[in-house]
A and B are shown apart, each in its own frame.
Chain A
Amino acid sequence: MFRRLREAAPALRFRFDGEPLTGVPGDTIAAALLASGRLALRKSVVGGEPRAPYCMMGVCFECLVEVDGVANRQACLTPLTDGMEVRSQSGARTIRPAAGQEP
């Protein structure tokens, strides 16, 4: 999918849906996932279709993931840090407001 132009030590360890992966300092979560061959980060809200980062600049919100228990973080804007627990999100429940908040 993608390869790194330069091999940079030292590696940062993180997990995506429980699977151990590595990135390098300066990576965003999205970049580290692309470099690890992970494209689809979430399932779409209505149809449950897989979606991947699309703009890498914070505009499209296709890269929403759960980071250390906090949902809806933009993976393309969030710098990777050592030990991060990243989880993919699926569908409506996590992205819509809780019941009763819909105007």
Chain B
Amino acid sequence: MSGPSLETASALASRYEAVVIGAGPAGLTAAARLAEGGASTLLLDENPAPGGQIYRSIEAAGAGDLRRLGPDYAHGRAVAERFRASGAAYAPRATVWDVGPATGPVAGGAADRASTSNRLVSLTLGGAGRAIEAGHVILATGAIERPMPFPGWTLPGVMTAGAAQIALKTAGLVPTGRVIVAGCGPLLYLLTSQLLDAGAEIAAVLDTTPRGNWLRAAPHAPGFLASAYMGKGLKLLRTVRTRTRVIGGVTALATEGTGALRAVRYGTGSGKGALEADLLLVHQGVVPNANFSNAIGCAHHFDEAQRAFVPDLDDWFASSLDGVSIPGDGGGIAGAAAAEVSGEIAALGALRRLGRLGEAPAMEAALPLRRRWKSLQRGRAFLDRLYAPSPAFLAPPDDDTIVCRCEEVRAGAVREAIGLGVAGPNQLKTFLRCGMGPCQGRFCAGTVTEMIAAGRGESPAAVGTYRLRAPVKPVRLSELASFPETPEAVLAVTGSHSTDRIEPLSTGDMQ
């Protein structure tokens, strides 16, 4: 069994053979496999309990919760149990903000492998900062919802569908009043049916799936028909359609209300409408949460089908940086079942690299997993094309739409800068402060890239995305004050040697 959760930075060892970041299906499985393989392993996660977003609160879920959220959610129990039984150390509520190359002699015991290069993982835990050595790092940072900008998306009463699902899973919160769900993608219908089952009143689903997507997806239908998604997906669509009103072909959205949502206006090819609403839940798919891999220097490429930047990975899910692997949705969206399999493959690759597993046994163990991973990809190509977001919600046409929620930069200002010939996302950031707030561009990077691409008639791949730097999460000076290498770390983060101030700093302001 894993011991009690580690709650303070001083409770951590100075070195682990493997450090895993993120406790979703990929991270939990990778950590379990590494510990089972004999490697000293630490799992760091931002949340108070294992599960990530998909298996949120899985250990605390009662029979009713498991029934309501379905067997795919309930499977998370087994994933968490395997991790708990593996002997890996576990530090919840830890914020990791950098993974850099380690310098100097490696502290540690007999488990050291001289042949492996080491990484330095910087984090805060229990209010104190710490840097620990890792022989190998597994980044399992998962997915985030793709931003869906439209006029008034910052109004209280507008949330992501994922946020409503988290509130349901963690606190059993069910929306009351008139709820409208808008956007596209499988999660939209899954959430709608979960909320209906929980007794919510869904006034309408505004489906923004572009009509032409069906044609583009059709050539990939055979793969989809043979996949596990098919039966589940059709059943969901049917359930939702019989229980609420679905308005398809929605091409424009806007909110009304001062201080709080009052109504949602929408447009379709054939007209306009407005619906009174207390809560609007939006969603247009998920993208890899690549801020971390971007900030530490992993190479990325633009994936046309997923319409997002994804890290370059080899067939062990190892990134371009030696000693850093990225399984799960953080390495490319493939879903929870595939994340579990890729976590296992990444762990095998790490054990092999750490000298814990020979080449032949690693290959042999990976073979059936690779086959399973491939079979889980079946149907993806169809879904990616069917649920490709509409251009109007990737590069918002209305100048008044906020692009950067943190710094309140609007589409009009972004378009003006593009018209003036801004060199790319990084220069735009300097000009407009777009992406410089505390979220570090997580909610505007995609939109900015799409807007520049649309403005210039180039591909997003050619435009690129923000270049990020550690720390990837805001760090407080008081947390750094407890750091062993205080002067350098403080200088690196704040540009000043002083450690006596305790004002929190938002990292975005320092880039």
Which of A's residues lie within 8 Å of B, judged by CB? Answer: 1-6, 8, 24, 26-28, 31-32, 34-35, 39-40, 44-47, 49-62, 64, 70-72, 76-77, 79, 95-98, 101-103
Could you give, for residues 369-402 of chain B, a 1 whenever the CB lies within 8 Å of some chain A CB and a 0 otherwise? 0000000000000000000000000000000000
Knowing A52-B156, A72-B438, A103-B510 are in contact, say whether A61-B406 is a contact too (CB < 8 A): yes
State whether A39 touches B438 (Cβ < 8 A). no
* 28 interchain pairs, CB-CB under 8 A: A1-B278, A2-B167, A5-B174, A6-B64, A6-B172, A8-B172, A31-B170, A35-B173, A40-B260, A52-B158, A53-B159, A54-B405, A57-B53, A57-B162, A57-B163, A58-B47, A59-B439, A59-B442, A60-B439, A60-B442, A60-B443, A72-B504, A76-B166, A97-B506, A97-B510, A101-B495, A101-B503, A101-B505
Residues of chain A lying within 8 A (CB to CB) of residue B256: none
Residues of chain A lying within 8 A (CB to CB) of residue B174: 2-5
State whether A26 touches B171 (Cβ < 8 A). yes
**Residues in B482-496 with C-beta less than 8 Å from chain A:** 494-496
Residues of chain A lying within 8 A (CB to CB) of residue B406: 45, 61
Chain B interface, DSSP helix/strand/loop, else mixed = loop
Write the nearest CB–CB distance from B346 to chain A, whole angstroms.
22
Residues of chain B lying within 8 A (CB to CB) of residue A96: 506, 509
Residues of chain A lying within 8 A (CB to CB) of residue B407: 45-46
State whether A26 touches B173 (Cβ < 8 A). no
Residue in contact with B172 in the complex, picked from A4, A52, A55, CB distance below 8 Å: A4
Least CB separation from A64: chain B residue: B438
State whether B144 touches A5 (Cβ < 8 A). no
Residues of chain B lying within 8 A (CB to CB) of residue A26: 57, 60, 170-171
Least CB separation from B494: chain A residue: A101
Residue in contact with A5 in the complex, picked from B159, B198, B438, CB distance below 8 Å: B198
State whether A97 touches B509 (Cβ < 8 A). yes
B323 within 8 A of A: no
Residues of chain B lying within 8 A (CB to CB) of residue A35: 171, 173
State whether A57 touches B175 (Cβ < 8 A). no
Residues of chain B lying within 8 A (CB to CB) of residue A3: 173-174, 176
CA distance A35 to B199 in the complex (A): 16
Give the top 6 A-B pairs by smallest Cβ distance, nearest first.
A52-B156, A5-B172, A56-B163, A31-B171, A61-B438, A46-B408
**Residues in B298-339 with C-beta less than 8 Å from chain A:** none
CA distance A64 to B438 in the complex (A): 10
Residues of chain A lying within 8 A (CB to CB) of residue B505: 97, 101
Residues of chain A lying within 8 A (CB to CB) of residue B501: 98
CA distance A76 to B56 in the complex (A): 13
B343 within 8 A of A: no
CA distance A97 to B505 in the complex (A): 5
Residue in contact with B154 in the complex, picked from A51, A79, A102, CB distance below 8 Å: A51
**Residues in B128-161 with C-beta less than 8 Å from chain A:** 144-145, 154, 156-160
CA distance A103 to B443 in the complex (A): 24
State whether B408 touches A44 (Cβ < 8 A). yes
